Amino acid sequence: MSSPETALLADLIRCPSVTPAEEGVLAILEAFLTPLGFECTRLKFEGGSSYPVDNLYATRKGNREGFHLLFAGHTDVVPPGDLDAWTHGPFSAEIVDGVIWGRGATDMKSGVAAFCAALLKAHDSGVLDHGSVSLAITNDEEADAVNGTRKLMEWAQAQGEKFDFAIVGEPSSFEIFGDSIKIGRRGSVSGRVTVEGKQGHSAYPERARNPMPALASIATTLDAPFDRGTEHFQPTNLEVTSLDTGNPASNVIPAKGTLRFNVRFNDTWAGETLLAEIERRIANADLRGCTARMEVLGPISKCFICPPDGSVATLRKVMEAYTGIAPNLATGGGTSDARFIADYCPVVECGLVGATMHQVDERVPVADVEKLTGLYAKIIEAFMTGDGR
């Protein structure tokens, strides 16, 4: 007989909830949580030059003077890619030799299923009556992230909800289960630099202004180090991701060219100060008589860090007692929805090893999902009955 977390995970995987298609996945969670005393609210947000997104907010208020723990996660998944390349169907949830296969098995339907199953344990033991637990589940983490967690947190605040600590169930372990948690993330910003020159024949360069050397100069100056890193973060890195003129001819000096870049920045910078430094570097590049302008592409994701004491220290103590490993405090990787929650309460990412996430043949050992359920149950108990502040 399948464990509650395995059965729930299989049900979730069978929903082909590629962003932003919900495909019934939130209804499955609502049906699981309602008998546990959770009040479930479905919220559809739209606008912001993005698509509409279905979200779920579920909350159970026990002792309203007690600790309020928030769990956040997403049920959307990236596209499966080449279906013929999968050993088992990406939405089949087949279990073979103790491993469950399918898109979202690691990232991160497993985290959602494990936390819900842990709530079942906490409900049956009476632990949930000591405090409050809420879940913020979106179906828009893997793409735009415009009408998901950010707006869900704004809505919750407008309802008067206040949280003491949040756990995002993203894969956070590095090599073995429980070896690390993420207490922060670097910020991210993308941009495009357009250099305008003058088109001409390559045999008469004096009659033209070639934007390509100017772009090369800009690329070189942007490649220089921004900082040496900080206590919790690696150095800021800017990566030039494309250089393009759209020029099909080999004997024509192009009129203009573009450079695109992405920066992952640490807590040395805010988005605005970093962009000012990039603008300064562009202005000091050798433009060879050309003009350059920069534009920001998409929203700026801020850098954030959660203090390692207080609730984080409590979490580490619970994890070490459960796994025998004191988890490292990590900040590496890309962005996550934790960046939207950091404005409201301390937040960490705590989940499985993410070895196969976003890959063909995404899969996870059932035993790992069961371990994660056990860990979440211990975490819920510690914060509901102890002092996790």
Q: For the domain that residue 360 is a member of, what is the CATH number?
A: 3.40.630.10
Q: Which residue is catalytic, options 5, 54, 140, 141?
A: 141
The residues with which 260 forms a beta bridge, in sequence order, are: 192, 242
Task: Give the end of a domain, one of 301, 319, 341.
Answer: 301
Name every residue whose Cβ is closer than 8 Å to that of residue 5 and which is 6 or more positions away in sequence. 113, 114, 116, 117, 369, 370, 372, 373
Task: Give the end of a domain, one of 301, 322, 342.
Answer: 301
Least reliable range by pLDDT among 62-66, 117-121, 136-140, 370-374: 62-66
Residue 88 among known ligand-binding residues: no
Ramachandran quadrant class, 45 (left: phi over 0; alpha: psi -120 to 50; beta: rest): beta
Whether 329 and 236 share a structural domain: no
Whether 138 and 268 share a structural domain: no
Residue 334 confidence (pLDDT): 79
Residue 298 confidence (pLDDT): 86
Name every residue whose Cβ is closer than 8 Å to that of residue 154 and which is 6 or more positions away in sequence. none
Looking at residue 167, its amino acid is: I
Whether 273 and 162 share a structural domain: no
Q: Which residue is catalytic, options 11, 22, 54, 76?
A: 76
The whole-number average pLDDT for the span 204-232 is 96
User: Is residue 179 flagged as an active site residue?
Assistant: no
Please write the tens of the pLDDT for every residue from 234-246: 999 999 999 999 9
Whether 166 and 152 share a structural domain: yes
Coil, helix or strand at residue 99: strand
In 233-373 the beta strands, taken as DSSP E runs, fall at 237-244, 252-253, 256-265, 291-301, 304-305, 328-330, 347-349, 363-365
User: Is residue 30 flagged as an active site residue?
Assistant: no
Residue 232 among known ligand-binding residues: no
Whether 123 and 51 share a structural domain: yes
Task: Give the end of a domain, one of 243, 267, 301.
Answer: 301
Does residue 388 have a pLDDT over 60? no
Whether 180 and 203 share a structural domain: no
Does residue 371 have a pLDDT over 90? yes
- In angstroms, the CA 28 to CA 11 distance is 8
Whether 139 and 175 share a structural domain: yes
Please write the tens of the pLDDT for every residue from 147-182: 999 999 999 999 999 999 999 999 999 999 999 999
Residue 170 among known ligand-binding residues: yes
Peptide bond into 108 cis (omega under 30): yes
Coil, helix or strand at residue 252: strand
Which two structure tokens, joined as six digits, stand for 325?
A: 């490993």
Q: What percentage of the chain has pLDDT greater than the value 70?
A: 99
> Nearest-5° angle of CA 258, CA 263, CA 268?
140
Q: What percentage of the chain has pLDDT greater than the value 90?
A: 95
Residue 74 among known ligand-binding residues: yes
What is the number of structural domains in the chain?
Answer: 2
Q: How far is CA 272 from CA 246, 303, 378, in A?
A: 31, 12, 41
Whether 159 and 191 share a structural domain: no
Residue 335 confidence (pLDDT): 81
Whether 156 and 29 share a structural domain: yes
- In angstroms, the CA 145 to CA 340 distance is 10
Whether 167 and 309 share a structural domain: yes
Residue 140 confidence (pLDDT): 96
Residue 332 confidence (pLDDT): 86
Whether 18 and 135 share a structural domain: yes
Per-state percent for the chain, helix, strand, coil, to nearest 5: 30, 30, 40
What is the domain range of residue 359? Answer: 4-185+303-385
Question: What average pLDDT does the structure give for the chain?
Answer: 96
Which two structure tokens, joined as six digits, stand for 288?
A: 């060879």
Whether 88 and 16 share a structural domain: yes
Residue 387 confidence (pLDDT): 53
Which two structure tokens, joined as six digits, stand for 293?
A: 């302008």
Domain containing 246 — which CATH number?
3.30.70.360
